[in-house]
Amino acid sequence: MSVKFRFFYSLTMSLALSFLMSAWVTFLNLGLQGDFTAHWMRAFLLAWPTAFTIAFALGPTVNKVTEKLMAASATLSRRSDS
């Protein structure tokens, strides 16, 4: 996977996740009140750079762990089919 792909994948995934998660956590903490959007956008702007950094830094490790889990799952599946 190229660094350019990792960069843009991390950028878009962190954008989507931090946007939705900050909305959800803001809603859980404050409910729908008059200044909900202002609180949500503040939370989002604080969360996104952190989410991007974590996604970019941990992406290769998470990918390797996922590959190992999928390989183990396939092995277990083949064993149970026998």
32-74 per-position pLDDT tens digit: 999 999 999 999 999 999 999 999 999 999 999 999 999 988 8
Q: What is the pTM of this model?
A: 0.76
Q: What is the mean pLDDT of residues 3-23?
A: 95
Three-state secondary-structure class, residue 44: helix
Distance CA 16, CA 20 (A): 6
- Angle (CA) 56-29-45 rounded to 5° is 35
Q: What is the mean pLDDT of residues 15-44?
A: 96
CB of 36 closer than 8 Å to CB of 26: yes
What integer pLDDT is reported at residue 1 of this predicted model? 73
Dihedrals φ, ψ of 2, to 5°?
-75, 155
What integer pLDDT is reported at residue 23 of this predicted model? 97
